[in-house]
Amino acid sequence: HTLYLTPIDRCTELPAVPFPISRSSLVPGLLPGAKLDILFPGFPSLKHVDHSARLEKRGVRVFQAASRDENMCLSVRPKPMDENLQNLAIELVGRQCYVGWPYLTESKIHAVSDGVMKYTADPLDRSKVKILSHTLKEKEIVQWNADATQVCRHYAEFRGIDVPPIEVLVYANVLQGKRYVSDKQNKGTLILHKEWKSLAEPHPYDLSVTDITAHAPEYREMGITLEDLFRPKEPCFMLSNPHYGFQAEILSVDQAQVRVQVKVRLLPEPDIAGVVSNSHRLSVRYLPSYLVAQKLGLNSLLLSRISGNIQVEKGSPENAKEREKISIGLNLKFERRNKEMPGYCRRTTEGWAYSPAAIGLVKSYVKEFPAVFSYLQGNPKADKYYESELMPANAEDGVTLAKVQEWLKKQPTTGISTVDCGGQSLDEPQIAAVERAVSNMKKQKTKSVKVARLRVKPSVLFLSSINQGAVVPDPKAEHFLYDRVINIMPHSAVPFGLKGTIIGIRGDRKEVATIYEVLFDEEFLGGLTLRCTPNRAYCLPPSCLLNLSHGVRLKAEKNAPKQQGSVVAPEGQNFTPQRGSYSGVVVGGSPSFYGRDYPDGHTPVHRHHGNYHQQQFNGPEWGYHNMGQSHRYNRGQSPSYTPGTRGRGEGGPRGERGHGRYGGHVSDSGGSWRDMGSGGRGGGGRERDAPVRIIVKNPRTTVSPNAAG
């Protein structure tokens, strides 16, 4: 979960006086009446798993650094279980339990495995009681052993818990959040719905706990009415068009008709379509490392090390005692951790690349401390660098480690965190263009803000106050660069209801661990500086954002005119449209809402005249388009297709085109085409080995490829 500090303007000042408790009233140990059997979410509990404790000096990594003192370590005793894994699966799979002891987290068991067999819940079984069995293959056994080893290592190194030899792993979907949804059986009432992460994580069976009571008095499972949740003047957000993503205010509730009356303020949005269309022109050009090294006159290895982390030990090599290490690197990248600094370094398939800002920073570094780089240039492969050798005390320039550190702290990269390589981000010129578009919107004076009063279903309203955990407001929404979003999380560092633009995406987009860099329309206290104006950016998970651009895309898809040609893909093959980003621009894809991904070996076919929306043809060699008035259909060919010579007569050789049934003739006037057969009368260029059903419609004719000539 993401933690936030309460804004200062919402804090209450308390006098800094000691608690009026006498020493004699303090009770050592547990207080009388302590409820150990009840789980309080967020607090550890040692009650539910049999264990022993001891003090041991083992260097547990509590805050990412090995502890130097003794640690309180725990040893877990094996839990009794049924020797028959199938019986254990019947007992656990599909049930809710708690994993991750002692910080017990509510989860739902998806599967259990002992390294030989695996029992999984059937995803197609609506009753949630059917279990599928599966014998692990060699690769799956290797993965099971790796999961078990990783789990034991994590508990030992980071929690000081010794797990007994793992015999069974449970794969659990951790609770992501809770929300209230409409009860289909009782009209006008709501029930609590739990949402689980899509990825099932492995956990030791010995550290899982069932049949435990959790303390959550603020959440009632059933019997909640609309009036209980949708209170007047409560802020909410629209989840349907035409005002998707807009903030609204609740006016009243009609319990009988199951409707909520809201008031929506229709605030204007900045026009960033021009910024998106010119995005490639505003992007920063990154140069490969070997070109940068040549340009700066540095060794390639030295460039790689100085842009990362170089440790210098204080003193001289003769001092054998443990000494402090100081980093003199720019920390623009970390190769082992697969980290990079946006706007400065980027990892590509060919190696590291550097932006003009990074090149200028290294150049300034070399110019400021030439003697230091002269020594490093002569010893780029050294394992250790010592202060006495790198910066002699009798040097004329008087350079010291303190001066180098002071210079590094003044650089613009100080305070900028690195991110995982492979993420998406906008460059400074692109972000500056977005800021100008927002400023232009603010300069436009509007007479008054329009207000819309609507009666809507409760299901199209999102209330942040009644949800718990990382509940995503709209699970169907996809987030892209340049998307307009609004903060829906109250009591966070970002003001509630503040709009912004996505300028970076960190993570794999599959789980709530994905983080989005957002440039907000206004500055706020606690804001970050992410290649933008100070105090205007912040990093937020998808549970804090509602995507306004997703609503624009939904509206465009709904209002899009129907295409003249309709395509039915061959049976068993996919036909998936690619979604675009804001204003129909797909980052790294087709610049249209109707762009399609073509399979390997296929090429798109473009209409020569008029507006034409690309279609996808997943059959070999197919893809026809209308060329205007002649209604002539041409073939989009794959590299594996070789057209035959145009011929006439019956019984032409295989690969030649001829007239007649299954011939390859293309009509110049009928707007139709014939199927390509194999051999026989007018042999064609495609074998009829599989049924391909493609129907092309136009105002003049409708022809099936398998129709007789």
Q: Each residue of 404-426: pLDDT tens digit?
A: 888 999 998 887 888 888 888 89
> Under 8 Å CB-to-CB from 256, ≥6 apart: which residues?
188
Q: What is the pLDDT of residue 579?
A: 42
Per the model's pLDDT, the better-predicted residue between 213 and 414 turns out to be 414
Query: Number of C-alpha atoms within 13 angstroms, CB side, residue 619?
Result: 20
Indicate whether 5 pLDDT > 60.
no
Q: Is 50 helix (H, G, I), strand (E, B) or coil?
A: coil
Exposure letters 375-390 (e unless 16+ CB within 10 A, then b): ebeeeeeeeebbbeeb
What's the mean pLDDT in 119-142? 81
Given pLDDT bands bounded at 50, 70 and 90, which one contains residue 320?
low
For residue 518, pLDDT over 90 is answered with yes
432 pLDDT higher than 90: yes
pLDDT digits (tens, 9 = 90+) for 166-191: 999 999 998 888 887 777 777 777 77
Lowest-confidence region among 157-161, 181-185, 207-211, 540-544: 181-185
Strand partners, 209: 98
pLDDT for 139 equals 92
pLDDT reported for residue 652: 41
Higher-pLDDT residue of 4 and 321 is 321
pLDDT digits (tens, 9 = 90+) for 477-486: 889 999 999 9
pLDDT of residue 6: 57
Q: Count how many Cα atoms sit within 13 Å of the Cα of residue 648 in the half-sphere of its side chain.
A: 0
User: Mean per-residue pLDDT for 356-383?
Assistant: 88
Q: Are 233 and 260 in contact (CB under 8 A)?
A: no
The percentage of residues in the chain with a pLDDT greater than 70, rounded to a whole number, is 72
Q: Which amino acid would we find at residue 559?
A: N
Choose between 441 and 673: higher pLDDT: 441
Which pLDDT score, from 0 to 100, does residue 223 have?
A: 60
Which of helix, strand or coil describes residue 85? Answer: helix
Residue 646: is its pLDDT beyond 70?
A: no
Which range among 268-272, 574-578, 615-619, 685-689 has the greatest average pLDDT?
268-272
Contact indicator for 400, 253 with CB cutoff of 8 Å = no
Enumerate the β-bridge partners of residue 419: 340
Mean pLDDT of the chain: 75
Query: How much is the pLDDT for 708?
Result: 38
Dihedral sign, Cα of residue 166, residue 170, residue 171, residue 177: negative
Maximum average pLDDT range among 80-89, 290-299, 581-590: 290-299
Tell me the three state secondary structure of residue 664: coil
* Contact (CB, 8 A) for 108 and 201: no
Residue 184: predicted pLDDT: 72
Residue 73: what pLDDT? 92
DSSP-based helix, strand, coil % in the chain, nearest 5: 20, 25, 55
Cβ neighbours around 447 below 10 Å, total: 5
In this predicted structure, what is the pLDDT of residue 421?
Answer: 87
Q: Report whether CATH 2.40.50.140 matches the domain 38-214.
A: no
Contacts 24+ apart (CB under 8 A), 8-15: 8/525, 10/491
Number of residues in the chain: 709
Structure tokens at 540: 């937020």
Q: Please tell me the predicted confidence (pLDDT) of residue 514.
A: 85
Helix axes 356-368, 289-296, angle to 10 degrees: 40
What integer pLDDT is reported at residue 683 of this predicted model? 42
User: Is the CATH number 2.30.30.750 carried by domain 427-448+467-554?
Assistant: yes
pTM (2 decimals)? 0.66
Question: What pLDDT does 590 receive?
Answer: 34
Return the pLDDT at 147.
93
What are the structural domain ranges in the chain? 38-214, 284-420, 427-448+467-554, 560-709
Is 620's pLDDT higher than 50?
A: no
Q: Give the pLDDT score at 352.
A: 92
